[in-house]
């Protein structure tokens, strides 16, 4: 019987939270540097410069990149050979609790959407599970900010709307959002599935590496066309106009009903914080 | 070159601020976001005294991370302003003159800014670490139970912002 110690899960989650909220991944910084070099607008350049300076200060002085240290979202892949004699979600939430308290991070979760009483430890996280072959437990984690999440959107298109309908909806969503979701953005687009699955796909899309491309040709072409068109919208960094509205577009697709063309857009701000860890099962 | 401003910002200076201008603010600013706005408007509407005298003052929309030992404040960048659109006209009628946040505001709010000869500034979202370096002191002065959403009195030096809606109602967006 293979298992992973509970304390290892707790500590890994805690460390991912404390690290990701302070250190922006180098692949994201590289995209920002590239955008700074190519941006022509003076104001847009000044905004990008401050965003780049900010991540340097955050990293070297151990200050959170952004005051919105998010609601934690996890995609967990569980190896089929693993057995847990404890509640895995509870262990992840214990890691969240410790990370937010020990890391001096903002607690931004309320227990009920209408009563709005803060849970004071940023739990619970939103956790998605999937099974994979083997002996590993993979946890992909993102402290997701509220500003960009609020500007996300979902629409059930008709199959006749097709590719053009998808592009129009994505462009309208980003244009209307303007500076509110803190561009430059990473745009996650889900297409297909059904009502709830398409939102899951859009979220999954923003967990991809910023510099990768879809392995599905149709989706890859859509990513390229959308990135080009989004950056021609002239929204710009923080909505102050310019050529840098999105750093990347990620499309995830799934089979769907003959009557449907679901589309979801999940926006990720420039403070694109995420981490992943792989833990290996050991004999209990 | 950024223009230096000291708080409180006088009516004449507010009038002279033009959309797109980059400014550096020094002095006292007050923090309030969603819950503090709702509470303030409710208590003033019930004829209770406001939690602080905001006439002619600056309200900054922020909910900072907790301050680490030895630091004045944690990460403290702006939150989205549109969520305060419901409350700001009421506060401007009562004398609020300067708001700092991020992002677009409603057309009604722009009209009200023009009417009240107020000004809306934006700080850059997601640069809370950099902005924290401009904060010299921070003191919770109202609604301590709201934690991050409590009202704080901040002393800042050279806090960077951009004029987004000027007193003539011109908008940067």
Which run of H or E residues covers position B158?
strand B151-165
B interface mutation test: which of A53, A57, A60, A63 has the most B CBs within 10 A? Answer: A63
Whether A1 has a pLDDT exceeding 90, the answer reads no
pLDDT at A284: 80
- Among the partner-chain residues A50, A106, A238, the one whose CB lies closest to the CB of B63 is A106
Q: What is the pLDDT of residue B139?
A: 97
Domains of chain B: 3-165 (3.20.130.10)
Inter-chain CB proximity B102 and A66 less than 8 Å: no
Please report which confidence band the pLDDT of residue B160 belongs to, taking 50, 70 and 90 as the band edges: very high
- The residue of chain A with its CA nearest to that of B19 is A240
Residues A234-246: tens digit of each pLDDT: 999 999 999 999 9
**pLDDT tens string A249-284:** 999 999 999 999 999 999 999 999 999 999 999 998
A125 pLDDT more than 80: yes
Is A65 near chain B, with CB under 8 Å?
Answer: yes
Closest partner residue to B126 (CB to CB) among A65, A105, A120 is A65
CB contact residues (below 8 A), chain A span 194-233, against chain B: none
Report CB contact under 8 Å: A182, B133: no
Give me the mean pLDDT over the B29-51 stretch. Answer: 95
Contact A136, A280 (CB under 8 A): yes
Residue tagged 């004999």 (tokens): A283
DSSP of A123-182, one letter per residue?
PPPEEEEEEESSSEEEEEEEEE-HHHHHT-EEEEE-GGGHHHHHHHHHHHHHHHHTTTT-
Inter-chain CB proximity A106 and B35 less than 8 Å: no
- Mark which residues 117-146 of A lie under 8 Å from B by CB: 118, 120
User: Which chain B residues contact residue A179 at CB under 8 A?
Assistant: 102-104, 122, 125, 173
Q: pLDDT band at A232, cuts 50/70/90?
A: very high
- Confirm or reject contact between A108 and chain B (CB < 8 A): yes
Q: Reduced to 3 states, what is the DSSP secondary structure of residue A7?
A: helix
Instruction: Tell me the mean pLDDT in the region A209-222.
Output: 98
pLDDT grade for A10, boundaries at 50, 70 and 90:
very high
Q: Which domains does chain A have, with CATH numbers?
A: 2-20+65-145+273-283 (3.30.360), 147-268 (3.30.1330)
pLDDT the model gives residue A227: 98
pLDDT of res. B141: 97
- Taking CB atoms and an 8 Å limit, are B129 and A104 in contact across chains? no
pLDDT of B1 strictly over 80 = no
What confidence tens digit (pLDDT) does each residue in B90-139 have?
A: 999 999 999 999 999 999 999 999 999 999 999 999 999 999 999 999 99
What does the pLDDT read at residue A55? 98
Q: Are B24 and B2 in contact (CB under 8 A)?
A: yes
DSSP secondary structure code for residue B81 in this structure: G
For residue B173, give every residue at least 6 positions away whose Cβ sits within 8 Å of its Cβ, in sequence order, or none: A178, A179, A239, A240, B104, B164
Average confidence (pLDDT) over A141-163: 98
d(CA A58, CA A64): 6
CB-nearest partner of B75 from A63, A178, A182: A63
Q: pLDDT digit string (tens) for B59-99?
A: 999 999 999 999 999 999 999 999 999 999 999 999 999 99
Closest approach of B117 to chain A, Cα-based (Å): 23
């Amino acid at each position: 019987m293979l298992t992973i110690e509970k304390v290892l899960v707790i500590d890994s989650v805690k460390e991912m939270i404390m690290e990701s909220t302070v250190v922006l991944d180098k692949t994201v910084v590289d995209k920002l540097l590239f955008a700074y070099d190519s941006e022509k607008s003076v104001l847009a350049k000044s905004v990008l410069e401050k965003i780049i300076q900010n991540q340097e200060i955050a990293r070297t002085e151990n200050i959170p990149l952004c005051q919105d240290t998010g609601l934690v979202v996890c995609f967990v892949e569980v190896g089929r050979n693993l057995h847990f004699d404890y509640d895995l979600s509870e262990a992840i939430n214990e890691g969240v609790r410790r990370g937010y308290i020990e890391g001096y991070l903002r607690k931004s979760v309320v227990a009920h959407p209408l009563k709005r009483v803060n849970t004071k430890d940023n739990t619970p996280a939103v956790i998605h599970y999937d099974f994979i072959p083997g002996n590993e437990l993979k946890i992909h984690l993102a402290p997701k900010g509220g500003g960009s999440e609020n500007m996300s959107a979902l629409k059930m298109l008709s199959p006749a709307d097709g590719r053009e309908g998808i592009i129009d909806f994505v462009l309208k969503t980003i244009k209307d959002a303007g500076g509110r979701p803190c561009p430059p953005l990473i745009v996650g687009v889900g297409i297909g599935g059904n009502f709830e699955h398409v939102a899951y796909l859009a979220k999954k899309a923003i967990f991809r590496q910023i510099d990768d491309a879809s392995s599905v040709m149709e989706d890859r072409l859509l990513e390229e066309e959308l990135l080009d068109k989004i950056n021609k919208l002239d929204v710009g960094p923080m909505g102050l106009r310019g050529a840098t509205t999105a750093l990347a577009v990620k499309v995830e697709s799934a089979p769907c009903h003959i009557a449907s063309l679901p589309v979801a857009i999940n926006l990720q701000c420039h403070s694109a914080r995420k981490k992943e860890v792989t833990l290996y099962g050991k004999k209990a | 070159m950024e223009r230096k401003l000291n708080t409180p910002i006088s009516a004449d200076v507010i009038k002279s601020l033009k959309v797109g201008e980059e400014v550096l603010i020094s002095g006292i600013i007050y923090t309030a976001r969603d819950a503090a706005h709702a509470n303030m408007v409710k208590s003033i509407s019930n004829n209770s005294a406001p939690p602080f005298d905001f006439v002619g003052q600056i309200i900054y929309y922020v909910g900072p991370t907790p301050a680490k030992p030895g630091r004045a404040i944690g990460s403290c960048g702006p939150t989205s302003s549109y969520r305060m659109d419901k409350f700001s006209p009421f506060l401007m009628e009562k004398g609020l003159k300067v708001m700092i946040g991020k992002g677009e505001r409603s057309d009604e709010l722009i009209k009200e800014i023009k009417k009240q000869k107020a000004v809306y500034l934006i700080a850059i979202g997601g640069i809370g670490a950099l902005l924290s370096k401009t904060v010299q002191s921070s003191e919770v002065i109202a609604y301590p139970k709201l934690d991050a959403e409590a009202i704080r009195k901040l002393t800042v030096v050279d806090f960077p912002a951009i004029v987004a809606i000027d007193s003539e109602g011109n908008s940067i967006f």
